[in-house]
């Protein structure tokens, strides 16, 4: 009998292997080091393996950790400042962003990542300026991070005395500085922490940088053999900028530059036409769908159904707290399914099993990490979560004649049912308690920074022309 580090047994194991979900009703997962050693029925595993620690997961679900394919954790400290507003970026976010320091962003990021971690997210595709600082949060928390430093040529003072809809001023010096920060991130952290941290390039969007810088990023991605994580057709604001500057919409423009291929993780596609969406899908590029964020910010349901007609390289992202208001992938699965059922006027569309795949194995394919994560299989990294089926939201547990567990995970769970999170073989959350950092201390520290930021922003009170400011005046907030 072979002795390994950990065995989780007597669980409903959702492996995500095969055409379906690969469910083993009375299954077990064995872990040794940072890898999965065996996934099989409990009696098979117990007959061949012993462990230093055994977890009895009766009436629990064991499944791959969830993947948040697009988030801006550095904006976590700005949660709730830009909802229910038009011109979200220019009227809602930018007035506060001008005061945000790297220290404040890092403090908010830590709490933001913990929120997702406690709700079962094990891989975070964190996409933010200042990532050379923010990545330290992923290192200390023990999360798997697929990170980029956001590149653009936008001057820091671009919001001053500028009308909504004006063509963005672009500063090549800003672009080169931010590009170098992204290169530094890759050279300092790519495949660090036993491979838990991986890095890629992050142009913010085709409207926020010159053609020359876009081509430079493309060439560097090929040289470093890494992916490109980028907002594409993310709103009418972007398309308006592209047409004014280049006379082309975003996707045809990027196609001309040779951007549409398997390296590209195209985020949002909010304003993509059905045909443009299929062009993206046929190219091999992935689509990252942020339903909660785009629904709240723009009131739009992106063309995910058109993408899925061609490709399954669709992943979900939570985006950012000042838009979506949460970084919880259970929320994204439910929201995505319901919105698209309404859009298609078909309750059969975007079923629960498909939503689970878009946050696990299909997401792993979309971000280029499916050889390591996304399913429970011997040889893959030990990234998995355990959920308690005795939680009221998941009651009752039915295995036959119809198994209700998968629909309940998508339409009933809220993430609080997650009791154990294992990343790279390490138990990061045990009995719902974060093991790597002091959670309460992080929240208290983050709140101090939030107070400081809001105090600075008070000087804008008379200048804020947003629905939120008007609601405040009326006593509605």
- What are the residue ranges spanned by the domains of the chain? 2-64+375-434, 66-367
**What is the predicted pLDDT for the residue at 26?**
97
Residues 6+ apart with CB under 8 A from 142: 196, 423, 424, 426, 428, 435, 436
- CA of 30: how far to CAs of 10, 286, 330, 361, 398, in Å? 12, 32, 26, 19, 25
**What is the predicted pLDDT for the residue at 81?**
84
> What angle (nearest 5°) sits at the alpha carbon of residue 184, between those of residues 183 and 187?
85
**What is the predicted pLDDT for the residue at 162?**
57
**What is the predicted pLDDT for the residue at 73?**
97
For residue 231, give the nearest of 352, 347, 69, 351 by alpha carbon: 69
Residue 155, class by beta-carbon neighbours within 10 Å (0-12 exposed, 13-18 middle, 19+ buried)? middle
Fold match between domain 2-64+375-434 and domain 66-367: no
Burial 411-443 (b: 16+ CB within 10 A, else e): ebbebbbbbbbbbbbbbbbeeeebebbebeebe
**Is the CATH number 3.40.50.620 carried by domain 2-64+375-434?**
no
Report residue 327 as tokens.
């970084």
Q: Which homologous superfamily is 66-367 in? A: Metal-dependent hydrolases (3.20.20.140)
The answer to whether the beta carbons of residues 409 and 394 sit under 8 Å apart is yes
Residues 6+ apart with CB under 8 A from 271: 233, 234, 235, 236, 238, 239, 249, 250
At residue 457, φ and ψ (nearest 5 deg) are -70, -15
| HSE (side-chain half, CA atoms, 13 Å) at 237 | 17
**What is the predicted pLDDT for the residue at 464?**
65
Whole-angstrom Cα distance, residue 42 to residue 26? 6
Whole-angstrom Cα distance, residue 357 to residue 370? 12
Whole-angstrom Cα distance, residue 244 to residue 358? 35
Strand 121-128 relative to strand 144-151, pairing: parallel
Strands (E) in 269-409, as ranges, are: 286-289, 314-316, 384-388
Whole-angstrom Cα distance, residue 116 to residue 73? 10
* pLDDT, mean of each 10-residue run, the chain (477 residues): 97 96 98 98 97 98 98 94 80 81 96 98 97 98 98 79 76 97 98 97 97 98 98 92 96 98 98 97 98 93 97 97 92 98 97 98 98 98 98 96 97 98 98 97 96 81 67 77
């Amino acid at each position: 009998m072979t002795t390994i580090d950990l065995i989780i047994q007597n669980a409903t194991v959702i492996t995500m292997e095969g055409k379906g979900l690969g469910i083993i009703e009375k299954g077990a997962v064995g872990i040794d080091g940072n890898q999965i050693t065996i996934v099989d029925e409990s009696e098979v595993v117990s007959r061949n393996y012993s462990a230093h620690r055994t977890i009895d997961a009766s009436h629990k679900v064991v499944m791959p950790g969830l993947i948040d394919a697009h988030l801006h954790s550095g904006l976590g400290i700005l949660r709730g400042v830009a909802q229910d507003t038009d011109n979200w970026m220019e009227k809602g976010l930018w007035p506060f962003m001008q005061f945000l320091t790297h220290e404040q962003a890092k403090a908010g990021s830590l709490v933001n990542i913990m929120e997702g971690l406690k709700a079962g997210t094990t891989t975070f595709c964190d996409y933010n300026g200042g990532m050379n600082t923010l990545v330290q949060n992923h290192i200390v928390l023990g999360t798997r991070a697929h990170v980029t430093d956001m590149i653009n040529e936008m001057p820091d003072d671009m919001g001053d005395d500028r009308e909504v809809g004006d063509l963005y001023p672009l500063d090549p010096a800003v672009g080169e500085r931010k590009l170098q920060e992204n290169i530094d991130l890759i050279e300092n952290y790519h495949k660090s922490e036993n491979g838990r941290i991986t890095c890629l390039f992050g142009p913010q969007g085709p409207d926020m940088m010159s053609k020359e810088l876009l081509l430079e990023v493309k060439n560097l991605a090929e040289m470093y053999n890494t992916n490109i994580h980028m907002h594409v057709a993310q709103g009418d604001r972007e398309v308006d900028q592209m047409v004014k500057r280049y006379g082309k919409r975003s996707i045809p423009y990027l196609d001309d530059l040779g951007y549409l291929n398997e390296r590209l993780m195209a985020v949002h596609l909010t304003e993509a036409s059905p045909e443009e969406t299929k062009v993206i899908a046929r190219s091999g590029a992935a689509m990252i769908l942020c339903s909660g964020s785009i629904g709240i910010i723009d009131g739009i349901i992106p063309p995910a159904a058109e993408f899925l007609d061609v490709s399954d390289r669709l992943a979900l992202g939570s985006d950012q707290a000042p838009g979506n208001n949460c970084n919880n992938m259970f929320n994204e699965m439910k929201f995505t399914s319901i919105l698209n059922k309404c859009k298609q006027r078909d309750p059969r569309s975007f079923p629960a099993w498909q939503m689970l795949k878009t946050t696990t194995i299909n997401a792993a394919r979309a971000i280029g990490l499916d050889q390591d994560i996304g399913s429970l299989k011997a040889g893959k990294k030990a990234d998995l979560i355990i959920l308690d089926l005795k939680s009221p939201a998941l009651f009752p547990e039915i295995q036959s004649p119809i198994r209700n567990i998968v629909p309940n995970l998508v339409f009933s769970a809220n993430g609080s049912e997650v009791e154990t999170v294992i990343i790279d073989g390490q138990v990061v959350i045990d009995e719902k308690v974060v093991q790597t950092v002091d959670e309460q201390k992080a929240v208290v520290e983050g709140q101090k920074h939030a107070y400081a930021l809001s105090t600075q922003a008070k000087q804008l009170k008379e200048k804020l022309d947003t629905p939120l400011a008007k609601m405040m005046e009326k006593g509605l907030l």
